[in-house]
């Protein structure tokens, strides 16, 4: 990543909006933003499948739910944040399961790119299907998109919910059970 180029670009934006880039508060801003962007876009060109190690747990072919994983991303249309929670449900095949931290890493790689919530949801489901080869996957993403809530309707806190289901979790009954478990107040994340 070309950090110097980002710094230059941020300085140009500040000049273009009529700011004095030499004043105290703004002097370090291009560098700070460049550092932030380095982190926010650290998933570009990384392969999320490499993060998904699996291991074998005998006789476990029942639903596994990883609930309330926090994520943040930047929308590719406005470069404004969207953030919230991801719930991942999968039904293992041949006892292949994975750890919670592995799922978190897959989301991090995919979220740290210019994204759209809908695509991010689908990509998480697809990566899981390809790398873990479970019988089914359901991904639910609840997020606040700042480009929606700060502009236009201006309803702060409004959530957009996206889902992606694959394999046996396309089945309505299984999906309903997964949703009931996610919504259960005793399991609240
Ligand atoms: Zn946007």
CATH number at residue 31: 1.10.286.10
Does the residue 46 lie in any domain?
A: no
Residues 8 and 83 in one domain: no
Mean pLDDT of the chain: 93
- 13 alpha carbon to ligand 1 midpoint, in Å? 18
Residues 25 and 116 in one domain: no
Q: What are the tens digits of pLDDT across the range 3-14?
A: 999 999 999 999
- 122 alpha carbon to ligand 1 midpoint, in Å? 18
Does the residue 150 lie in any domain?
A: yes
Q: Total structural domains in the chain?
A: 2
Looking at residue 150, what DSSP letter applies?
S
Q: Helix, strand, coil shares of the chain as percentages rounded to 5? A: 45, 25, 30
Residues 86 and 153 in one domain: yes
Alpha-carbon distance 124 to 110, whole Å? 7
Residues 34 and 58 in one domain: no
H or E element, residue 180: helix 172-183
Query: Token digits for 189?
Result: 């994340």
- 40 alpha carbon to ligand 1 midpoint, in Å? 15
Local confidence band at 53 (pLDDT 50, 70, 90 cut-offs): confident
Beta strands of 17-111 (E only): which ranges? 55-56, 64-75, 81-91, 96-97
| Domain with 148 in it | 51-187
Residues 20 and 68 in one domain: no
- 150 alpha carbon to ligand 1 midpoint, in Å? 10
- Say what the pLDDT of residue 55 is: 84
- 170 alpha carbon to ligand 1 midpoint, in Å? 29
Single pTM value for the model: 0.92
Residues 79 and 167 in one domain: yes
- CATH assignment at residue 118: 3.30.1130.10
- 148 alpha carbon to ligand 1 midpoint, in Å? 7
Alpha-carbon distance 50 to 172, whole Å? 31
- Say what the pLDDT of residue 148 is: 86
Counting beta carbons within 10 angstroms of the beta carbon of residue 89, is it exposed (0 to 12), middle (13 to 18) or buried (19 or more)? buried
- 166 alpha carbon to ligand 1 midpoint, in Å? 27
- 116 alpha carbon to ligand 1 midpoint, in Å? 8
Residues 35 and 113 in one domain: no
Sign of CA dihedral 42, 3, 72, 69: positive
Among the ranges given (88-97, 101-110, 153-162), the one the predictor scored with the smallest mean pLDDT: 153-162
């Amino acid at each position: 990543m070309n950090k110097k180029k980002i710094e230059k670009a941020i300085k140009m934006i500040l000049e273009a909006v009529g700011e004095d880039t030499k004043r105290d508060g703004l002097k370090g801003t291009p560098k700070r933003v460049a550092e932030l962007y380095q982190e926010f876009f650290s998933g570009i060109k990384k392969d999320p499948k490499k993060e998904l190690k699996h291991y074998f747990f005998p006789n476990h072919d029942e639903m596994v739910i990883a609930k309330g994983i926090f994520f943040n991303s930047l929308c590719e249309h406005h470069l404004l944040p969207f953030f919230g929670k991801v719930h991942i449900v999968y039904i293992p095949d041949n006892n292949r399961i994975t750890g919670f931290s592995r799922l978190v890493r897959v989301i991090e790689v995919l979220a740290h790119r210019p994204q759209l919530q809908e695509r991010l949801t689908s990509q998480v489901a697809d990566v899981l299907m390809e790398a873990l080869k479970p019988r089914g996957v359901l991904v639910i993403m609840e997020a606040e998109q700042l480009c929606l809530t700060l502009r236009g309707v201006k309803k702060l806190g409004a959530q957009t919910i996206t889902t992606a289901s694959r394999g046996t979790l396309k089945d309505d009954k299984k999906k309903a059970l997964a949703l009931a478990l996610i919504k259960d107040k005793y399991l609240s994340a």
